[in-house]
Amino acid sequence: MWKQNTNNPLENAKLQMQQAFETHPDFVQYQDQFAKLFYPDRTIEISIPVRMDDGTLQIFTGYRSQHSDIRGPYKGGIRFHQDVNADEVKALSVWMTIKTAVVDIPLWGGKGWVIVDPRSLSRNELEQLSRWYVRWLYKYLGKDTDIPAPDVNTSGSIMAWMMDEYSLLNGEYTPGSFTGKPLSVGGSLGRKEATAQWGIYVLEQILSYSWEKIAGKKVIIQGTGNVGGIAAELFHKSGAKVVGLSDIDGCIADENGLNIPEIFKQKKLGKKITDTPGVKKIDASDFFSLESDIVVPAALENQITVENAGTIRAKIVLELANGPTTKEADEILFSKNILVIPDILANAWGVVVSYFEQIQNNTNHYWTAEKVDAHLQETMKKAAQWVYETAKSHDTFLRSGAYIVALQRIFEAMADRGK
Ligand code: GLU
């Protein structure tokens, strides 16, 4: 089981961007825009009343941080999790602005959160919570205003309830108000695999610059949810060996490669990954130091820290989670010559497919899986190339390369709008 780190993610985001800002000499003219970047346009806190199944009333705290809508509506997931503070939501909304700018889509940053452990709620309680979230925030949301999506512990069904509530309040079917919905109510093909598939395409693209391939590589993955679980299956299919896997129930390892299809088959039946027969259970403190080629954090923020970065033996870290590496840990990885494929590039697909979903909803014309995949590959290739080449030309690491690409677009748009 991994622990929630107390590092302040907004500070972390600032430090990362400061570094990119200083790397690019032309950015001096954008001092004001840079300073403004760390202040979301607004962060709304709400108290959500839920009548529990046992008749009692419980109040949950929720947030929506709208970072910036300089060249498109606010966009970003809603997370249901017990550990959060407002700074974390703000940092995550800044990241969404950066992420959408790296891949160059006309949606900007937002993020939402409800402090709750959704596993402690019944289906009915979860639905009430989701609908109330929309009721309280209704006037701040909308297909041209702010479009939420799933994130940690939220799903397509939650988005469907939220879109339904929004449509009721709006007086018309408004599928473009939420993305990540089930296919039956305006979801896009290709969503389910979205984040993990994109991350693996990005990895393939970056590996191709040095004539390398995924097949045969040893991979360790932190997280077995929407992102980590699908990444494990996709790595397995590509011929990589998943030698370590961890989630809230614990960490498992097998140097010959875990039987991923079987583990996930059992997981769907309600088994814990640690119940898998024949696997070695290891301590969380030993997880990242397992012998591997690629480490994939696909869970929460601040998991690779000064305490464990030095023990990583892999050559590549593929950040599928948002902000999984602290600034200090990043420097340790850099000094060890470990290539970090940063979150803002590696996990951007969720929001890219959200953009495709929105286009389909707003035009009421739906794409084939082939069309989604073709657009995905085209967007991914351009983004990976921009980041790789920018990092190379500034003699810096990929994270700074990605920030430079994003900041350039953000600053220009802010300056042009007189912000
Ligand atoms: N939760 C995903 C992310 O953090 C998707 C956000 C979205 O589609 O708006 O990138």
Question: Which pLDDT does position 3 carry in this prediction?
Answer: 38
Q: Is 141 helix (H, G, I), strand (E, B) or coil?
A: coil
The binding-site residues of ligand 1, defined as CB within 6 angstroms of any ligand atom, are 75-77, 149, 151, 179, 322, 347, 350-351, 354
Predicted model pTM: 0.85
Beta strands of 298-403 (E only): which ranges? 316-318, 339-341
Radius of gyration of the chain from its Cα atoms, rounded to whole angstroms = 20
| Average pLDDT by stretches of 10, the chain with 419 residues | 50 81 91 92 96 98 94 95 88 91 96 96 98 98 97 94 98 97 95 81 92 94 93 96 96 95 93 91 94 95 93 96 90 94 90 95 96 92 94 92 95 92
- Distance between CA atoms of 395 and 122, rounded to whole angstroms? 52
Question: Which pLDDT does position 88 carry in this prediction?
Answer: 86
Q: In angstroms, what is the span from residue 148 Cα to ligand 1's centroid? A: 8
- Distance between CA atoms of 382 and 361, rounded to whole angstroms? 25
Question: Which pLDDT does position 313 carry in this prediction?
Answer: 96
Task: Name the DSSP class of 83.
Answer: S
Q: Which atom of ligand 1 is found nearest the CA of 75?
A: 9
Question: Which pLDDT does position 16 carry in this prediction?
Answer: 79
Q: Which atom of ligand 1 is found nearest the CA of 99?
A: 10
Question: Which pLDDT does position 9 carry in this prediction?
Answer: 66
Question: Which pLDDT does position 4 carry in this prediction?
Answer: 40
List, by residue number, the catalytic residues. Answer: 111
* DSSP string across 200-263: HHHHHHHHHTTT--STT-EEEEE--STTHHHHHHHHHHTT-EEEEEEETTEEEE-TT---HHHH
Q: Which atom of ligand 1 is found nearest the CA of 350?
A: 5
Pocket test for ligand 1, best of 153, 181, 195, 320 (most atoms within 8 A of CB): 195
Q: In angstroms, what is the span from residue 348 Cα to ligand 1's centroid? A: 7
